[in-house]
A and B are shown apart, each in its own frame.
Chain A
Amino acid sequence: MKVVYTDVLVIGGGLAGLRVAIGARRRGHDAIVLSLVPPKRSHSAAAQGGMQASLGNVIKGQGDNEDVHFEDTVRGSDWGADQRVVRMFVNTAPKAVRELAAWGVPWSRVRQGDRTVIINGEKVTITERGEAHGLVAQRDFGGTKKWRTCYVSDGTGHAMLFAVGDRAIADGIPVHERTEALSLIHDGKRCFGAIVRDLITGELTAYVAKATAIATGGAGRVYRVTTNAVICEGIGAALALETGIVPLGNMEAVQFHPTGIFPAGILVTEGCRGDGGLLRDASGHRFMPDYEPEKKELASRDVVSRRMEEHIRKGNGAKSRFGEHLWLDITLLGRQHIEHNLREVKDICRYFLGLDPAEQWIPVRPAQHYTMGGVRTDHTGQAYGLRGLFAAGEAACWDMHGFNRLGGNSVAETVVAGMIVGEFIADFVESPAGELDIPTTLLRESLAAERGRLDHLLHHGGREQADTLKAEMQQTMTDNVGIFRRGPDVQRAVDKLQELLVRSRDIGLRSRRDGPNPELVTAYRVQKMLKVALCVAQGALTRTESRGAHFREDFPRRDDAQWLKRTLATWSEPSATLPTLSYEALDVRAMELPPGWRGYGNKDYVDHPDTRQRAEEVAQLREKMQAAGRHAVQAALMPYEQLLPPGLRGRNERIDEKVTP
């Protein structure tokens, strides 16, 4: 029996996982990171446009602060987010940018003086302040009141991942590359680590740890059309689900990004629209102002994606042999800007579309992009149900995104959650609860169970092909659980996925070696992915309202009276074919920002019975405390600072907001 022991086992080597490991390491604990691929190849690298943090350095960001970022994020979430977690996040995001700046991220910087930008299709000259010169710059992004998205050209995620990846190397953190966790070791109460497969040799090892963190990213690949990397298969969520105890939160909340290139689904950044790019239809008409006069192309992603599909349905799509699409026009930004600030976009257009975006429009259509749901955790990142299990980043439902995430808030979440959860994991490891007392029988049995599963796949001669099942699942999800959802379609998807899940228990392999065997990998992953897909579909079927990215055509209104609650999906037993759903209510009476209209999108919604009273309370308190300053008002409305690790509680300095040390 091969056993590896460490204090903190981090599953996933992207930004969130690496930052968690660094946090634990800096508190003096050993950490091992497991990664399917070399960590710098993680999907974090694909985040192009930037990271939101309310630094307020650029002139169009002047007046920005945590309060504005908080409100934008909560509105973006369609009130699905945990507002205390959003507060923890917005207060830490500026610190994360500053930490990364110190670690070497070459953030694009403010240059003082005049510059020409495109706003609402017009050339406008803005003047950057002298006192901002050389500080980190921000660009405009969807669903934000201020220019808040800090960026490194359009390679933000890449630059962040390399800086954090190199920092992990500097701190001597081992990354076990090309390894995959197959299951969590647990006794129903506490998590003890994971059973891990070496993807090169096929060998199984029990990794035993005081604390285990899931940071495996999203589940985009349960869909056929997605911007996600091929490794984003929701396996971390499945590991938690398969414990039978830990719930996944809000899996039906799936974001579709407006500008996947058509038809390959590769992402071009929201920065295109943030910097002034426009959406046009088959006749070249700029249609977004017709639907969204307030925010136009820069409404939140769920809204823009729906409007695009709606516009195509009305017959305004450009036709191609692969189907219909719309156009993203960034020609008005000029070649200089594109080659400087949007060079990945230029490369993607050149290599995958054979076009020059400085001259030609880019064919786009919404594509699956982000998994708001994930392993449900409390504000410390501790998963529900199993002590010693944590989750961070896209894999988690922490829950700062609710039913729709704002652009620029995902890479921000990775490092912010990494900073916060890393501290809480260290606290846990140092506490009496962190002590390990593990029977070796549990290790042996856990290893034997996984060995048995693999041997069954390799040798029992099943009749089903893994890649066929996977393709059918992906098509089913894209066809029926996409941007517009209808009860009968989603029901059809649930039925189909259940059938596929049953069939997946009879997968046979053509290739029977146990080492680098891609067919075996697809086989055991598709069994897990189907369970995750079923959580998405069943959650979408049951939620008879529309909220954020979850849009039911047969229930088009947001219904706070019935549905201001978080879906929790558990998998009660291995033989089940459906998750068990339960719900946890959000408490309107504790909200700093009671539910209302988002400022874009649908104005028609059903109020929660507590909303009016809470709104009045909040309004009165704000008026009464007007003179007390924004921090005092905030603390009176919804205290949160005590929830943060002590080292991250400080206020953030800005040009216009000095902090006395």
Chain B
Amino acid sequence: MSSTEETRPVAKHKNVGMAPEQAPPVAEGPKRMLHFHIMRHDPQDPLSVPHIDVFELEEAAGMTLFIALNEIREKLDPSIAFDFVCRAGICGSCGMVVNGRPGLACRTLTQDLPAEITLAPLPAFELIADLSVNTGKWMRGMSERLETWVHSLGVEADLTRLEERMDPELADRIYELDRCIECGCCVAACGTARMREDFVGAVGLNKIARFALDPRDHRTDDDFYELVGNDDGVFGCMTLLGCHDVCPKELPLQTQIAFLRRKMVKAGL
């Protein structure tokens, strides 16, 4: 790919005025020229060959990758595909590989990166185009397989009556695991997921841990064993723990996977 890179002209843009969404002030200094090396490919186009395009932008104060990519799209190449929704680190749409590391682009400030910035789509997901991948399809498949919802005993709650009580501490612990935004960074950083197409990933294991903790879900350890007691589940994990390192929400994935593995070993005996 590096040869392609050299033969392609560098599209340039000098920054005049304010970016559409300015982030906070940073110390004034000479402005850097940033080079974005962006992986391009349209799998629907039979003529498309994966390659890297390079775009040059002048850095602006408080520039995030959200701001930078939109500027590239507006001023240099209107066809470039990427996904943002909330642009506030909440929705998990903008996972991509930034200089080799999966993360949320919207909350990545260019000031924290070198001037040469390489952006690639998350691996392990179906590529839509350029930096856009189909995490939604993957996550829905995972949810259907693992049945990531509360399984009650079939009795609908009477909504006019007081709600079931829950220990406040336990509610907090469930929320701690419920904070997953399904961004896919853990899957992209996972060695097993690269080798086993059906591996449920840390995102899936964390969900099982979350529902196992929830007293409203009446599934037993045996039920959970049916779902993740195999090599596509908790025994597929090689404990490389890339997932734990890259999780943007800093979920305790390492602990949850270890905990679940012990639980599943017991259930499997």
Contact = CB atoms under 8 A, between A and B. Distances in A.
Interface string A307-337: 0000000000000111000000000000000
Contacts of B182: 38, 40
Given A38-B135, A38-B139, A106-B174, A322 B159 contact: no
Interface string A504-532: 00000111010111110000000000000
Interface string A648-660: 0011111100010
A612 interface: no
Given A41-B85, A229-B87, A511 B160 contact: no
Interface in B128-177: 128-129, 132, 134-137, 139-140, 143-144, 147-150, 152, 156-168, 171-172, 174-175
Contacts of B214: 104, 106
Contact of A166 (B61, B136, B143): B143
B79 A518 contact: yes
Contacts of A510: 78-79
Please report whether the interface of chain B is mostly helix, strand, loop or mixed according to DSSP.
Answer: loop
Contacts of B188: none
A97 interface: yes
A582 to B, nearest CB: 35
A516 B42 CA distance: 8
Contacts of A262: 24
A354 B73 CA distance: 26
Contacts of B92: 40-41
A162 B45 CA distance: 35
Contact of B166 (A109, A231, A509): A109
B217 A104 contact: yes
Interface in B102-138: 107, 109, 128-129, 132, 134-137
Contacts of A564: none
B165 A104 contact: no
B129 A43 contact: no
Given A99-B157, A653-B162, A511 B175 contact: no
A39 B21 CA distance: 25
Contacts of A655: 162
Interface stretch (A60-68, A264-272, A424-432, A441-449): A264-272
Contacts of A265: 21
Contacts of A511: 78-79
Contacts, number: 231
A295 B168 CA distance: 30
B90 interface: yes
Question: Counting chain B CB atoms within 10 Å of each CB, which of A41, A110, A152, A322 scores highest?
Answer: A41
Given A106-B178, A352-B24, A321 B61 contact: yes
A264 B67 CA distance: 10
A134 B149 contact: no
Contact of A650 (B25, B107, B147, B160): B160
Contacts of B80: 518
B24 A229 contact: no
A322 B79 contact: no
Contact of A659 (B23, B160, B216): B160
Nearest to B44: A515
Interface string B177-189: 0110110000000
Given A267-B88, A352-B23, A102 B152 contact: yes
B235 interface: no
Interface string A356-383: 0000000100000000000000000000
Interface stretch (A167-175, A206-214, A389-397, A590-598): A167-175
A266 B107 CA distance: 11
Contacts of A547: none
Interface string B86-101: 1111111100000000
B22 interface: yes
Interface in A75-126: 94-95, 97-99, 101-104, 106-111
A108 B174 CA distance: 10
A101 B164 contact: yes
A169 B175 contact: no
Given A133-B165, A653-B161, A348 B143 contact: no
Contacts of A263: 21-24
Given A94-B159, A108-B172, A109-B168, 20 more contacts: A38-B135, A40-B182, A41-B92, A41-B136, A43-B86, A43-B91, A98-B159, A101-B163, A108-B168, A133-B165, A133-B168, A136-B163, A137-B168, A153-B175, A167-B149, A230-B84, A262-B24, A263-B23, A264-B22, A340-B172
Q: In the A-B complex, list the 3 residue pairs whose CB atoms are closest, starting with the nearest.
A: A38-B136, A134-B165, A95-B159
Interface of A: 37-43, 45-46, 55, 94-95, 97-99, 101-104, 106-111, 133-137, 152-153, 155, 158-159, 162-163, 166-167, 169-170, 175, 177-178, 200-201, 224, 229-231, 261-267, 320-322, 340, 344, 347-348, 351-354, 363, 467, 471, 509-511, 513, 515-519, 650-655, 659, 661
6 contacts: A38-B140, A40-B136, A46-B91, A106-B166, A224-B20, A351-B107
